[in-house]
Chains A and B, each alone.
Chain A
């Protein structure tokens, strides 16, 4: 709170983010990999999220009015285009667990008038309930629409006694008029970091996971620290050639340069084809630089 802050901030923090080595010196950058081929759409993760994060049950009427409070929602799509072409969904349904993508360059962060949502040193997109005044600009500007607003005072109605005994004391219960969203279970991260600091070390891979990743019966959700290159998630990002600070993946550029169909048929382009990787981030072209990598669903065409 002083002049040296002013000076140092001008020089140090006037940087464009994300940049390539942004988390080179920092101990943590939390990120996820969600394998859509493993995801069965069973909703275990969403219920785990309700249990972990004190999410209110809004009831039928409010759900109907679009006021549901699920931080993590499972979307089910029947197709990719604008019209459904098949009579029967022969390759099943496509499920997508969608939660806050913890963007590196989050559209919500710049527009919040009071700075209630900001970027943490761990690369998370925070939401500070007590600072929020409820202008909902962040939600308006979120391309993923994963921010949920407390349209009512849920503490009054959502937990009739003794249901309120289930509420986690580590997570603030949100009253009316504030925005909330997936936090990557920040209460777990804080606890793990605190424990690690007491033991004078960094949080190790697998030591802390989000509630959804913990519950997922097929282990489709992987959570970890990509600042630590030895972590599973960092390895998965690397294997999928997804880079945090790139808005277009190298493999996709390769893919664009893919040979014509005739060449593929003659075997010329086969090597390029074989390199097809599954990792992508939703709406990468919007340059939000999300921290969640999805792995494409696989379907066998043999039958």
Chain B
């Protein structure tokens, strides 16, 4: 509906003889605002609860210290995101790397499950939470490069644009609309190209960027 209202606005402005008043570029340097407020159409749908093999407590690992979290950076575990189109799931040995050392929680049921997988050398069958249709190719690497490495934003914010505040959840749930218009709404915005300059650019608007 926002689209529609913009068209109406557009028409009204034209009819009234108003010159080109930029509707979007007013918030050229605002890239989403606080986490959870970035949807273009007021749609903040909470996706279904996905039952994972282990109910992974994101809040315990990545949550703020104030809430009892450890503030581990997203990219520490989801390390593939910076160099691959898919963010992937951390390999099991990464979990074990820490949890072998942490004696205090070894007897907890979730950790026991984890260690059992490791003993069997079996990959954990995690389920996809943000599963786009098969004709959509989202590239994590590009977004991470741009927002985290070029612009120096904290990963919790940058990842949160699309994934919501996962650090406050246990297992992740889909928060954003992730519809095409939602993607495009961000690509249409002018973003600063890096942390220091005032030059801006917007995301690609070519269909083949995402669909091929």
Contacts and interface: CB of A to CB of B under 8 A. Distances in A.
A and B from one assembly? yes
Interface of A: 1-4, 6-8, 118, 120-122, 124, 126, 128-131, 170-173, 183, 186-187, 190, 194, 197-198
B139 A172 contact: no
A3 B142 contact: no
Contacts of B204: 121
B212 A172 contact: yes
A232 to B, nearest CB: 24
Interface in B72-127: 85
B208 A120 contact: yes
B137 A170 contact: yes
B44 interface: no
B48 interface: no
A205 to B, nearest CB: 22
A71 to B, nearest CB: 13
Q: What is the predominant secondary structure among interface residues of chain A facing chain B? A: loop
A183 B208 CA distance: 10
B49 interface: no
A121 B204 CA distance: 9
B31 to A, nearest CB: 17
Given A126-B207, A128-B208, A2 B135 contact: no
B212 A183 contact: yes
A194 B212 contact: no
A34 to B, nearest CB: 23
Contact of A1 (B13, B20, B139, B185): B185
A190 B6 contact: no
A3 B23 contact: yes
A23 to B, nearest CB: 15
Q: What interface size band does chain B fall in?
A: 20 to 34
Contacts of B85: 194
A159 to B, nearest CB: 14
Interface string B168-212: 000000000000000011001000000000000000101111011
Nearest to B209: A190
Contact of B20 (A3, A128, A172, A197): A3
Closest 9 CB pairs of A and B: A2-B23, A7-B20, A130-B135, A126-B208, A172-B135, A128-B207, A4-B22, A3-B10, A186-B212
A128 B3 contact: no
Contacts of A7: 20
A122 B3 CA distance: 28
B22 to A, nearest CB: 5
A186 B204 CA distance: 15
B10 A131 contact: no
28 contacts: A1-B24, A2-B22, A2-B24, A3-B10, A3-B14, A3-B20, A3-B23, A4-B20, A4-B21, A4-B22, A6-B14, A120-B208, A121-B204, A121-B206, A124-B208, A126-B206, A126-B207, A126-B212, A128-B211, A131-B207, A131-B211, A170-B212, A172-B212, A190-B137, A190-B208, A197-B142, A198-B141, A198-B142
B188 A1 contact: yes
Contacts of A197: 142, 145
Contacts of B211: 128-131, 172
Nearest to A183: B212
A130 B133 contact: yes
A7 to B, nearest CB: 4
Contacts of A198: 141-142, 145
A171 B6 CA distance: 35
B196 to A, nearest CB: 15
Contacts of A124: 208
Contacts of A120: 206-208
Nearest to B144: A198
